[in-house]
């Protein structure tokens, strides 16, 4: 069974640029959630995708957007990067079945905005 | 909405000593509770979870936690820590309905001293 993978591992961008982060979900999972973890903070929920549609969103501006593909992999896109977007971006996959669905986290992508 | 407060940002403890990491939560609905561990430059690993039933929950690596509904707490304990337990620990909560996102605390840095 393959776990959650994310690419790239590290990324450096400058203010105003756009970035795309990728996540491959664990085998058999149909839901992907994205979290932002700023330095010294806990992860914050950005949004969740289920069956290729956004299925919940946290308090993040529209320049944070996402996609989920038919194979349940996902992308996180951030436009007009700001310095405060520097963070570890985590994705987590799960399978909607019943009232509890454990989320399995990937290793994250470290984004630095200069 | 839910929120989580981890009362200690850093906890130093000597090897083989007991440790308790404190977590309080707030929610207007019934919740699931979690503890995650994050080693340097890695994603999140689930230590243990409370969904229902017994309030004492045992997890991996010898950790356990007790759910106290009246005090809205979910403290993490280990009777004897090892150097390898040095990591960041996050308490998290989610509403116990459907595939709801996790709300994390800011984390507690556990440093085990030889």
- How does pLDDT run across A19-48, given as a tens digit for each residue? 999 999 988 888 999 999 999 899 999 999
Contact A5/B at CB under 8 A? no
Look at residue B15 and tell me whether its pLDDT is greater than 90: yes
Contacts of B36 in chain A (CB under 8 A): 105
* B104/A42 touch (CB, cutoff 8 Å), yes or no: yes
Which of B102, B103, B106, B108 is best to mutate for the A interface (most A CBs within 10 A)?
A: B102
| pLDDT reported for residue B29 | 87
- What percentage of chain A has pLDDT greater than the value 90? 78
CA distance A38 to A45: 12
Contacts of A4 in chain B (CB under 8 A): 43
| pLDDT reported for residue A39 | 92
How crowded is the C-beta side of B34, counted as CA atoms within 13 Å? 24
CA distance B26 to A76: 30
Look at residue A1 and tell me whether its pLDDT is greater than 60: no
* B49/A102 touch (CB, cutoff 8 Å), yes or no: yes
| pLDDT reported for residue B1 | 84
- Judge whether B78 and B98 are in contact, CB under 8 Å: no
């Amino acid at each position: 069974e393959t776990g959650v993978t994310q690419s790239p591992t590290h990324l450096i961008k400058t203010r105003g640029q756009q970035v795309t982060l990728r996540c491959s979900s664990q085998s058999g999972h149909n839901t992907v959630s994205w979290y932002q973890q700023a330095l010294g903070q806990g992860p914050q929920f950005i949004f969740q995708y289920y069956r290729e549609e956004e299925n919940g969103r946290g308090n993040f501006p529209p320049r944070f957007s996402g996609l989920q593909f038919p194979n349940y992999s996902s992308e996180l896109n951030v436009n007009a990067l700001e310095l405060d977007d520097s963070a570890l971006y985590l994705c987590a996959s799960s399978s909607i079945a019943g009232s509890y669905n454990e989320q399995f986290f990937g290793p994250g992508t470290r984004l630095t905005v200069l | 909405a839910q929120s989580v407060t981890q009362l200690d940002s850093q906890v130093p403890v000597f090897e083989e000593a007991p440790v308790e990491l404190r977590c309080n939560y707030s929610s207007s609905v019934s919740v699931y509770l979690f503890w995650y561990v994050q080693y340097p430059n890695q994603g999140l690993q689930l230590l243990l979870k409370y969904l229902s039933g017994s309030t004492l929950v045992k997890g991996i690596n010898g950790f356990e936690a007790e759910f106290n509904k009246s005090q809205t707490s979910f403290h993490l304990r280990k009777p004897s820590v090892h150097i390898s337990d040095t990591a960041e620990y996050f308490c998290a909560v989610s509403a116990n309905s459907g595939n709801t996102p996790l709300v994390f605390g800011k984390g507690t840095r556990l440093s085990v001293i030889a």
